[in-house]
A and B are shown apart, each in its own frame.
Chain A
Amino acid sequence: MSLTLEQVRRVAHLARIEVSDAEALSTLGHLNGIFTLIETMQAVDTRGVEPMAHAQDLAQRLRSDQVSETNRREDFQALAPETEAGLYLVPQVME
């Protein structure tokens, strides 16, 4: 299998990472090398094998529906690139 430049651009768009033409080209070369390695998996017959998502076969633990965190809005917003009146600012998305 070999990726195309168009696929690299599409995936970069899905991942929200801007790539220049030069970057897309060098990324294509690297990804194709990596996928050559990954493709060796395809020769294995895994019919009937249960996929393993996790190292421990445990059910998700539930907790009681209680407030556990205190309000630290100011501490957290101090880290943000841009805030105003307790809100995070981003470019306008609707007119």
Chain B
Amino acid sequence: MIGRSVSALAQALTEKTISSVELTQLYLDRIARHNPLLNAFITVDGEKSLAQAKAADEMRAAGLATPLTGIPLAQKDIFCAKGWLTTCGSKMLNNFVSPYDASIIERFNAAGAVILGKTNMDEFAMGSSNETSYYGAVKNPWDMARVPGGSSGGSAAAVSALLAPAATGTDTGGSIRQPAALCNLTGLKPTYGVVSRYGMIAYASSLDQGGPMARSAQDCALLLNVMAGFDERDSTSLDRTKEDYSREFSAVASDKPLAGLRIGLPREFFGTSERSGCAPEVMQLVDAAIAEYRRLGAQLVDISLPNMKLSVPSYYVIAPAEASSNLSRFDGVRYGYRAPDYSDLNEMYARSRAQGFGAEVKRRILIGTYVLSHGYYDAYYLQAQRIRRLIANDFVAAFKQCDVIMGPTSPSIAFKLGEKAADPVQMYLSDIYTIAVNLAGLPGMSIPCGFANGLPAGLQLIGDYFSEARLLNVAHRYQQANAWHLQRPQGID
């Protein structure tokens, strides 16, 4: 069973080859064996998981099964789950047992999915290597000396090492796509507003979006079908007609399944001099994947996203500004960490926050506080928001010429643990290809496109607003013709 796709597992459950209790136990055993090395999970609670699995088996016996009934899934520890420790990777929430479910947890529970555990992540989703977690770094299953990417690094490592069939992640600047690329997974960040943020601990609210991480586009579609949907408890949730995100997979097979698809290649990624922004071994794999897309019938279009290079600077104003506001709630009064010693209220706040937050979170709160402070607001925050508009407009213009934009997901394969930890700017530049998508609010994916020195690389697919079903199909057609996504790390038995 281990290593089968979500739909194959669902079929096995339907055919009674295995029960959800047995399947969940298989995965719990793998977690017990491999998690001490990988550190992909912060919390595992076999009793809770097996109780859910038992309920799922009963749901199936009663004829009430949905496609995910009985499927164990790893949940990023940013999603509140009732009765589960929910830390968001921080000491600040070291004792926070959530009294309620996030919307997506409610939806997975209603569908009969099983929570296999809560996955490790960069503290408050701020990081690109999973090294900022209070609970220790996660190891990349493809090379234990390297990072899995971040911030959804625990989810990526768990699925990649087959400790879970699939997982959830969240993506504010690349936190689903970059770890998916570094761990050989398929990950999707939906259009902003498609997946409810209720109960998803906020980092930068205008950018945060939850999404699936799995071993194929087909599996991602199965998860997104449950995750997506209107929620009145999220003020930015979009009220749209329900979609089946796997609807395009059933199109008739042919040797040119993508005939007519126009793929935009931004000069800012592929221009002769711009290519040097990406490691040559990654660029080679991306070029090969695009050549494969031509064989599948797609045509290539030269496009431009002229303000692309401004995405990292504007993001590091907007995201910290929103974070400084969102994280002001952690004050040691209603929940979370409180410092043991203080003499007055101000000292209680300042010490609780100094001791409860890690260095990167504090840095971003300080940046955000500064750019929003009197006298600097126009020069930084408003300027960043104007640039955000320019970046979004670039995409609007590009999608008049093409259907999907492609490029690298990450400028390198997985880097070594500690390699960038001391230099925030180098770490921030890990997300040069992904951040613009969040600023514009567009859907984006990363799919496996091959290996360099035994380590996986990702191809990024960016679609127009609400084009998730098409993106998933574009990914699926590639995965029908190639087997990169099925490769498994050798170091994990």
Contact = CB atoms under 8 A, between A and B. Distances in A.
Interface of A: 3, 7-8, 11-19, 27, 30-31, 33-34, 36-42, 44, 46, 49-56, 58, 60-61, 63, 72, 75-76, 78-82, 88, 90-91, 93
A70 to B, nearest CB: 11
Contacts of B333: 80-81, 88, 90
B200 to A, nearest CB: 16
A41 B310 contact: yes
Given A51-B389, A53-B206, A60-B235, 11 more contacts: A14-B373, A15-B369, A18-B350, A30-B424, A34-B424, A37-B428, A49-B389, A51-B386, A52-B392, A54-B236, A56-B441
A38 B380 contact: yes
Given A51-B385, A61-B235, A90 B317 contact: no
A8 B362 CA distance: 12
Interface in B329-384: 331-338, 342-351, 353-354, 357, 362-363, 365-367, 369-370, 373, 379-380, 382-384
A52 B389 contact: yes
Given A41-B383, A54-B236, A91-B345, A49 B390 contact: yes
B313 A46 contact: no
A18 B390 contact: no
A53 B320 CA distance: 14
Interface residues of B, number: 70
A63 B233 CA distance: 10
A21 to B, nearest CB: 13
Given A41-B310, A44-B310, A51-B386, A17 B366 contact: yes
B261 interface: no
B97 interface: yes
Given A18-B353, A44-B310, A90 B345 contact: yes
B428 A53 contact: no
A81 B373 CA distance: 30
A82 B390 CA distance: 48
A7 B369 CA distance: 11
B193 A15 contact: no
A46 B387 contact: yes
B313 A40 contact: yes
8 contacts: A18-B351, A30-B424, A37-B425, A44-B390, A51-B385, A56-B236, A80-B333, A81-B337
Contacts of B235: 60-61
A62 B365 CA distance: 31
A40 B348 contact: no
B99 interface: yes
Given A16-B331, A18-B351, A27 B366 contact: yes
A9 B366 CA distance: 10
A37 B312 contact: yes
A36 B367 CA distance: 12
B192 interface: yes
A2 B388 CA distance: 24
A56 B193 contact: yes
Main secondary structure of the interface of A (DSSP, over half): loop
A18 B238 CA distance: 40
A65 B258 CA distance: 50
Which are the 9 A-B pairs with shortest beta-carbon distances? A55-B441, A51-B385, A46-B386, A81-B338, A52-B389, A55-B192, A18-B354, A18-B350, A79-B335
Contact of B353 (A17, A36, A76): A17
B435 to A, nearest CB: 12
Contacts of B337: 81
B358 to A, nearest CB: 12
A91 B314 contact: no
Contact of A17 (B99, B317, B344, B350): B350
Interface string B73-84: 000000000000
A55 B440 contact: yes
B348 A90 contact: yes
A75 B99 contact: yes
A79 B338 CA distance: 11
Nearest to A74: B99
Given A11-B366, A52-B392, A16 B349 contact: yes
B316 interface: yes
Contacts of A27: 362-363, 366
A38 B316 contact: yes
Contact of A42 (B95, B348, B383, B392): B383
B324 interface: yes
B230 to A, nearest CB: 10
A74 to B, nearest CB: 10
Contacts of A54: 206, 236, 441
A90 to B, nearest CB: 6
B96 interface: yes
A39 B232 CA distance: 39
A14 B321 CA distance: 13
Contacts of A30: 363, 424
Given A56-B193, A79-B335, A81-B333, A31 B367 contact: yes
